[in-house]
Amino acid sequence: MTQRKDAGFDRLRRRSPHFVDQPIVIGDAVPDQEGKRALFSAADQPASTGAVTIDCSACGARSVVSVRQAVRLAVPSVHVPVLRRGHASWMRCPACRRRSWVRLEIQLP
C-alpha cells in the first residue's frame, strides 16, 4: 500500500484568523463560561455507597477514597474514638500525604 503525499491534516481547511478568538454564539445565547467546569466538577456531590470520606485536620482537605485505598492508608494507624470526638483516627491523609488526625465516614447503603 502506498502513502499519498496529501494524507494527513494538511487536507483540512485552515481556520480563518478573524474567527479564532471569538466564541461561537447561536441566536441570542450567551456562551456559558462556567458550564463545562460545573459539568465535570466533583464539588458538593455525595460519596457513593461503600466509599470512605477522609477529613484531614492538618490540611483541611476532604477526600473520598475506596475501602481498599482507605485500608492501605490506615495501616499502621491509631483509632481512639472515646478520647477524641471529632478527628479520632491517626493515619496518613491522601491529600497532603502526612500523618495527622482525620475523621473517617463510611457511606453505607
Q: Tell the residue number behind the cell numbers 466538577, with chain if given.
A: 41
pLDDT at 26: 57
Compute φ and ψ for 69, nearest 5 degrees: -70, -35
The alpha carbon dihedral of 29, 31, 32, 37 has a sign of positive
**b/e map of 5-19 (b: 16 or more CB within 10 Å)?**
eeeeeeeeeeeeeee
- Residue 41 confidence (pLDDT): 62
pLDDT score for 2: 55
Cell numbers given for 67: 475501602
Give 53-86 pLDDT, tens digit per residue.
999 999 989 988 988 898 898 888 898 888 878 8
Nearest to 72 by CA among 94, 88, 90: 94
Mean pLDDT of the chain: 76
Q: For residues 92 and 79, give the distance between their C-alpha atoms in angstroms, rounded to a whole number.
A: 12
pLDDT of residue 81: 81
Model confidence at 9, pLDDT cuts 50, 70, 90, reads low
Task: Please report the pLDDT score of residue 5 as a whole number.
Answer: 56
Of residues 49 and 23, which shows the higher confidence score? 49
Q: Which three cell numbers stand for residue 16?
A: 480563518
Beta strands 62-65 and 52-56: pairing type? Answer: antiparallel
